[in-house]
Amino acid sequence: MATKAPVLICPAMNVNMYNNAVVKENISRLTAMGYLFMVPGYGELACKAEGYGRLPEIPDIVEEVESILTPKDLRGEKILVTAGPTREPFDPVRYITNYSSGKMGYALAIAAKRRGAHVTLISGPTALPTPRDMTFIPVASAVDMRDAVMEHLDSATVVIKAAAVADYRPSSRSARKIKKGGDGLDLQLERNPDIILEVGRKKGNRILVGFAVETENLVENARNKLKKKNMDIIVANDVTKEGAGFGYDTNIIKIISADGKIENVPLMGKMEVADRILDKVKKIITGRQSAPRRRPALRDK
Ligand code: CTP
Residue 74's Cβ-count burial label (10 Å; 0-12, 13-18, 19+) is buried
Contact (Cβ atoms closer than 8 angstroms) between residue 142 and residue 165: yes
Report the share of the chain in percent with pLDDT over 70: 97
Question: What is the CA(28)–ligand 1 centre distance, in A?
Answer: 49
Question: Considering 39, 46, 47, 62, which one is annotated as catalytic?
Answer: 47
Give buried/exposed letters for 197-221 (b at 16+ CB in 10 A, else e): eebbeebeebbbbbbbbbeeebeeb
CB 158 within 8 A of CB 209: yes
DSSP annotation string for 208-241 = EEEEEEESSSHHHHHHHHHHHTT-SEEEEEETTS
What average pLDDT does the structure give for the chain? 94
165, 218, 230, best to mutate for ligand 1 pocket (most atoms within 8 Å of CB): 165
Note the pLDDT tens digit of each residue in 112-138. Answer: 999 999 999 999 999 999 999 999 999
- Region 144-150: what's the mean pLDDT? 98
CA of 212 to the centre of ligand 1 (A): 7
- Average of pLDDT values for 131-156? 97
**Does residue 10 carry a catalytic annotation?**
no
Ligand 1 atom with the smallest distance to the CA of 196 is 7
Closest ligand 1 atom to 211 CA: 15
- The predicted pLDDT at position 162 comes to 97
Domains and CATH numbers, the chain: 8-68 (no CATH), 71-168+189-289 (3.40.50.10300)
The pLDDT tens digits of the residues spanning 56-96 come to 999 999 999 999 999 999 999 999 999 999 999 999 999 99
- Region 214-236 average pLDDT: 95
Mutate which of 104, 192, 195 for ligand 1 pocket (most atoms within 8 A of beta carbon)? 195
List the beta strands (DSSP E) in the chain.
Answer: 8-9, 36-37, 41-44, 50-54, 78-83, 88-91, 94-96, 118-123, 135-138, 158-161, 168-170, 189-191, 207-214, 233-238, 250-257, 262-269
Report the nearest atom of ligand 1 relative to the CA of 142. Answer: 8
pLDDT over 80 at 99, yes or no: yes
Note the pLDDT of residue 293: 64
Using CA positions, which residue lies closest to atom 8 of ligand 1? Answer: 194
pTM higher than 0.85 for the full model? yes
Residue 232 has pLDDT above 60, yes or no: yes
Instruction: For 187-200, give the DSSP string.
Output: --EEEPP-HHHHHH
- Place 301 in a pLDDT band, splitting at 50, 70 and 90: very low
The residue nearest atom 17 of ligand 1, judged by CA position, is 212
Confidence of residue 248 (pLDDT cuts 50, 70, 90): confident
- Looking at residue 155, its pLDDT comes to 95
Task: For residue 253, give the nearest of 279, 230, 286, 292 by alpha carbon.
Answer: 279
pLDDT in tens, 257-269: 999 999 999 999 9
- For the CA of 221, the nearest atom of ligand 1: 29
CA–CA distance, 110 with 132 (Å, rounded to integer): 8
Name all residues whose Cβ lies below 6 A of ligand 1.
142, 161, 163, 165, 167, 192, 194-196, 210-213, 225
- Mean pLDDT over 25-30 rounds to 98
Distance 192 CA to ligand 1 centre (A): 10
Amino acid at 177: K
Mean pLDDT of 28-54: 96
Ligand 1 mutation target, pool 202, 211, 240, most atoms within 8 A of CB:
211
Ligand 1 center to residue 294 CA distance, Å? Answer: 36
Q: What is the pLDDT of residue 242?
A: 87
